Amino acid sequence: MSTHKTISLIGTFAATGVLLHRLLFGAWSLGVYAILLAGIALLCWLEGVSALIIACALLFFPLVVLHAFLEDLFMKERSLPEWQRNDADFLAFGIVRRLKSLQEVSLINLLDAALKTNEGAFIVQELGRDPQQLMRSLRAALDAVPDTSVAPVLRAAHERMTALKRTRIGAGILLAVCFERFEQLKDLLNECDLAQEDLVAILRWERFHELFRYSEPFWTPDGLLQSLGSIGRSWVMGYTNAIDALTEDLSASVLWKCHRHVRIHADARANALRILEKSDLHDLLIIGRVGVGKKVLVEHLAYDIRIQERRKSREYTRVLILKTEELLSGVRNPDMFLLQALKKAQESGNFILVIHNLALMLQSGGEKIRAILMKFIREKNVQLVGIISAEDYHRLVRSDPMLDHFFEKIMVEEPADTETLAVLMEHFFQLVRTYNVHVTYKALRSVIDLSRRYLPNQAFPGKAISVLQDAMMLAQKADDAFVEERHIREIVSQKGNINVMELSQSDRDRLLNLQERMTSSIIGQEDAVHALVNTLKRAGLEMATGNRPLGTFLFLGPTGVGKTHTAKVLANEYFGSADAMIRFDMNEFSTESSIAGIVGSAEGETSAGYLAQCVQDRPFSLILLDEIEKAHPKVINLFLQILDEGTLIDYAGMKTDFRNTVIIATSNAGALFIRDLFRREASAQDHRQLMQEVTESILHEKVFSPEFLNRFNEVILFHPLSKDEAARVAMLMLTDIVEDMKTKRGINLKVEEEVVQSIVERGYSREFGAREMRRVITDTIENQLADYMLTHEVKRGDEVVIRRQNTAS
Amino acid sequence: MSALSLLEHPADLSAIALRFLPWYFLKVPGRIIRGYGAYVRALGEIFSFWFLIRTFLKPWKSIVDRYPDRGFNLGLIAQAFTLNCTSRVIGMIFRTVAFVLGVVMEIIVLGVFLVLLFVWILFPFVFVLDIFYLIGALP
């Protein structure tokens, strides 16, 4: 039996406010006031303005006062309700106001009213649903709930309100409690692909939203201050035409331009401010990765300096951002110009010169610019703030101890996810005015998750903001009302040069059929193919999101069994092209000095090694380390970090992300052992036992260290090919030639079976597998065919049959 | 259901009515005074009175001529002195104008807020008198 107990809200705090409001300012009341006002106006017109009429008009002022009083008491909801006799007293005024009746209020009535409030509308938006559709779904789901009594829901909502330190039960709390209490509603959340925790996060975001709903009018004290600035202070500064031409004055607009609700890097900001306030050694170097927020930190600093000036009546300090590129490219003698400009500026007052591209300045400016900077670093009235990346700091500043000594350093680290989310939310409220599209909570979360995984070369929050902005632009151009996860995936795919779109049906089919297609091209190595395909299936569904590459494999086996060929087929079938394979012949890395080929070197200007560069350019690729056992042990040790952490730090300190790569190392180590093993007891032992024996043999011979072997996802044993398998390999190779002749020249090439047998006899051996097969086919088929086509007239549509007797007809 | 159901809860209505008096005579005047303080501070910052006073005699925008370092060239000294004096006088004029303008603005703001405060506080009495006047005016 179902229970749907309703409640009466009469007598509750919000209901009292609503009733008073309706009584004084309802439609009827406003009508009466309008009639009275019209009467007074008529009297004025007929009788002229008299004391009596003024006295009548005065009666209306209490209405304004009462409205302000009711608004203050009931609507602002900054403090707890005046009386708290039951849980319903805590209901938000906005919800109660939207109820048609205050008696016999059901849960559906409450939810309906809640979704119509600003808060409710925002939450519906974040769920990515239409309000009416959501209400219909809620109604249908609640119909199936046996007990929808209002009182227990309000009790739970009251508890949740207290936990969230709020003063009223708003739409968000009401929805969160309903989703939590009623199993039937959880399907609705699942449809939105959200968890209960996400709903709570949306509640927090909604509170954040309130900060942006209200913008300070210009006539308020803060508005005036932001619009007009500070006249007397700025008059203290002298004329600085020269420096003004090459700088942007951040102080002039800092109060209105740089006022942000979310401020990250609080410690770095406090430290920087402390350093800038020092009387000595007060020049600052802000070090951090691209996108970590170094420029924003400078803006915040400028803001803090202005606030401190106001609070402590300090002298006016200008924060000037040097346009480095213009100085270096647009001025005939940049050093002379900068020297004169700084001297003049120094005489005219205090200023902080921010060089946002210090690396460029030091690199391109030469010794003279460096000397000028050194001169002004310790001078009065002038402070320098340099912005530089960690790599450039080590390369350009750290290497010059004199310069390094004069700067205090602040390292700006990547913010935590929660901080990045807050920054994103703030940016969303600014961007929505431009693009007029909303962002669902799930999309916002995915900005962080996908950027972290697929855009490793930049730092948060910069990369997340960039993705969000591009996604909003994309949605706007596509006339979509919401930015959803698919928009974010599309942008991340473009920016990361990697396909991270959700799997389409064709992608699913491709993955499901991958094993079949690979085994048709790879003969006799089913175990290897099976292991590879399983890994790629996991990667396709993003099940492997740890800090390791998508898959790491060590292919062991004798030569000519298809280890390298397997990697090529995989690159073609899964990565779409053989070009997606980055191949390293590891015998080229057999000396200690060859380590530079992987991580770069100090010589020359190359900052990254070849491997790192390749992966930075193509993060989603297959890396083939051919004959890894021939590499120098120090080179092999480098790969320990890649296999384990999924990253490589090169000579310049730059981190390269390998998490979206598949790494395949091939090796002939233990080949003799494997061949003997298969010869003796090929079918007698199971694969696992064989694998163990081979591994032990390799470790015993000290070809690889145990820690190296253990870091691979799988060590895969390639079986020596049997003669039958070699014949199938020969058939595959010949099929390629036949198809090539057909498509390119239109010639029907036929190869008799005896020819295949002959090729196998000459091209296959137990020791070298099918290694010689390609050479034999070139000698016996391709060369002969070329001779025949040169000596005979072969036209399109002709048929050429290859027989064993070395004759062709 | 009508607003008349409010009458079923006279205690609540009394509580709200009791809240009205402190709200009217304490809370809102407090807000008016705080609002005035915010405007005074904002204008103080915009005109920066303290800086105008501290830099009252300083040359306008640091436009100065240097006195000669060596020798005694009366012509150059007189030239620098004249320019520097002129610069200081110009600075004084501008700062005086800004100061006076700021003070006038402060006085206007003070006046507006005083009127607002007095009107607010005195209005109940005016209202009561108004009612009496209207009753008296009835035929």
Q: Which two tokens stand for residue A111?
A: 């939810």
- Which of A208-222, A385-399, A731-745 shows the lowest per-residue confidence on average (mean pLDDT)? A208-222
Q: State the amino acid at position A354 in one-letter form.
A: V
- Which of A115-129, A504-518, A623-637 shows the lowest per-residue confidence on average (mean pLDDT)? A504-518
> Looking at the complex, does the CB of residue B19 fall below 8 Å from at least one CB of chain A?
yes
For residue B90, pLDDT over 90 is answered with: yes
For residue A682, pLDDT over 60 is answered with: no
* Residues of B with Cβ-Cβ distance to A36 under 8 angstroms: none
**A589-618 average pLDDT score:** 75
pLDDT digits (tens, 9 = 90+) for A435-459: 999 898 889 989 998 898 888 878 9
For residue B120, pLDDT over 90 is answered with: yes
pLDDT digits (tens, 9 = 90+) for B36-54: 999 998 898 888 888 888 8
A52, A69, A232 member nearest B48 (Cβ): A232
* Residues of A with Cβ-Cβ distance to B20 under 8 angstroms: 69
> Looking at the complex, does the CB of residue B133 fall below 8 Å from at least one CB of chain A?
yes
CA closest to B45 among chain A residues: A230
- Test A225 with B46 for CB contact under 8 angstroms: yes
pLDDT digits (tens, 9 = 90+) for A70-100: 999 998 888 888 888 899 999 999 999 999 8
Q: Residues 34..63 of A with a Cβ closer than 8 Å to B: which?
A: 51-52, 55-56, 58-59, 61-62
Among residues A301, A214, A306, A230, which one has the least CA distance to residue B42?
Answer: A230
- Test A59 with B130 for CB contact under 8 angstroms: yes
> Looking at the complex, does the CB of residue B45 fall below 8 Å from at least one CB of chain A?
yes
The whole-number pLDDT of residue A808 equals 43
Residue keyed to tokens 């409220």 = A429
The whole-number pLDDT of residue B11 equals 84
For residue A684, pLDDT over 80 is answered with: no
The whole-number pLDDT of residue A1 equals 55
How would DSSP label each residue in A190-201?
Answer: HHTT--HHHHHH
The whole-number pLDDT of residue A685 equals 57
**B108-132 average pLDDT score:** 92
Which segment, A14-18, A342-346, A430-434, B105-109, is predicted with the most confidence on average?
B105-109
Distance from CA of A84 to the nearest CA of B (A): 11
The whole-number pLDDT of residue A746 equals 84
The whole-number pLDDT of residue B5 equals 75
The whole-number pLDDT of residue A686 equals 65
The whole-number pLDDT of residue A542 equals 67
> Looking at the complex, does the CB of residue B6 fall below 8 Å from at least one CB of chain A?
yes
- Test A235 with B51 for CB contact under 8 angstroms: yes
Q: Exposed, middle or buried, A329 (CB in 10 Å: 0-12/13-18/19+)? A: exposed
How would DSSP label each residue in B16-71?
Answer: HHHHHHHIIIIIHHHHHHHHHHHHHHHHHHHHTHHHHHHTTTSPGGG---PPPSSS
The whole-number pLDDT of residue A92 equals 93
Q: Residues 306..335 of A with a Cβ closer than 8 Å to B: which?
A: 310, 313, 316
User: Please, which contacts does A425-434 make with residues 24 or more away whose CB atoms are closer than 8 Å?
Assistant: A425/A205, A425/A208, A425/A262, A426/A208, A426/A212, A426/A260, A426/A261, A426/A262, A427/A465, A427/A468, A427/A469, A428/A468, A429/A209, A429/A212, A431/A468, A431/A469, A431/A472, A432/A472, A434/A472
Q: Residues 52..91 of B with a Cβ closer than 8 Å to A: which?
A: 52, 55, 58, 61-63, 91
Q: Which residue has the higher pLDDT, A765 or A711?
A: A711
* Residues of B with Cβ-Cβ distance to A222 under 8 angstroms: 38, 42
- Test A103 with B1 for CB contact under 8 angstroms: yes
- Test A232 with B15 for CB contact under 8 angstroms: no
Q: Residues 10..29 of A with a Cβ closer than 8 Å to B: which?
A: 10-11, 16, 19-20, 22-23, 26
Q: Contact, A606 vs A596, CB < 8 A? A: no
* Residues of A with Cβ-Cβ distance to B39 under 8 angstroms: 221, 224
Measured distance between the N- and C-terminal CA atoms of chain B, rounded to whole angstroms = 38
* Residues of B with Cβ-Cβ distance to A56 under 8 angstroms: 134
> Looking at the complex, does the CB of residue B51 fall below 8 Å from at least one CB of chain A?
yes
CB proximity list for A156: less than 8 A, separation 6 or greater: A177, A180, A181
A771: number of Cβ within 10 Å: 16
pLDDT digits (tens, 9 = 90+) for A781-793: 888 888 888 887 7
The whole-number pLDDT of residue A168 equals 92
- Test A61 with B127 for CB contact under 8 angstroms: yes
CB proximity list for A453: less than 8 A, separation 6 or greater: A545, A659, A660
* Residues of A with Cβ-Cβ distance to B130 under 8 angstroms: 55, 58-59
Q: Which two tokens stand for residue A364?
A: 């391109």
For residue B103, pLDDT over 90 is answered with: yes
- Test B123 with A238 for CB contact under 8 angstroms: no
Residue A505's pLDDT band, with cuts at 50, 70 and 90, is low
* Residues of A with Cβ-Cβ distance to B41 under 8 angstroms: 221
CB proximity list for A178: less than 8 A, separation 6 or greater: A107, A111, A138, A153, A185
pLDDT digits (tens, 9 = 90+) for A724-754: 888 888 888 888 888 888 888 888 888 888 8
- Test B58 with A225 for CB contact under 8 angstroms: no
pLDDT digits (tens, 9 = 90+) for B56-75: 898 888 788 888 888 888 88
Mean pLDDT of chain A: 84
**A471-500 average pLDDT score:** 90
For residue B112, pLDDT over 90 is answered with: yes
> Looking at the complex, does the CB of residue B23 fall below 8 Å from at least one CB of chain A?
yes
Q: Which residue has the higher pLDDT, B43 or A502?
A: B43
The whole-number pLDDT of residue B3 equals 66
Q: Contact, A528 vs A716, CB < 8 A? A: yes
The whole-number pLDDT of residue B106 equals 95
> Looking at the complex, does the CB of residue B134 fall below 8 Å from at least one CB of chain A?
yes
Q: What percent of chain A has pLDDT over 70?
A: 94
* Residues of B with Cβ-Cβ distance to A233 under 8 angstroms: 48, 51
- Test B47 with A232 for CB contact under 8 angstroms: yes
For residue A589, pLDDT over 60 is answered with: yes
Phi, psi of A410 (to 5 degrees): -125, 120
For residue A605, pLDDT over 60 is answered with: no
CA closest to B109 among chain A residues: A221
B24, B28, B130 member nearest A55 (Cβ): B130
Report the alpha-carbon distance of residue A742 to residue A736 in Å, rounded: 10
The whole-number pLDDT of residue A606 equals 47
B20, B42, B95 member nearest A69 (Cβ): B20
Q: What percent of chain A has pLDDT over 90?
A: 18
B50, B126, B134 member nearest A313 (Cβ): B50
- Test A235 with B24 for CB contact under 8 angstroms: no
User: Count of CB contacts below 8 A, A vs B?
Assistant: 117
Q: Which residue has the higher pLDDT, A507 or A501?
A: A501
Question: Which of B48, B57, B122 to mutate against chain A (most A CBs within 10 Å)?
Answer: B48
Among residues A777, A765, A775, A771, which one has the least CA distance to residue A802?
Answer: A777
pTM of the model: 0.76
* Residues of A with Cβ-Cβ distance to B133 under 8 angstroms: 51, 55
CA closest to A227 among chain B residues: B46
CA closest to A344 among chain B residues: B62
* β-strands A647-649, A714-717 pairing: unpaired
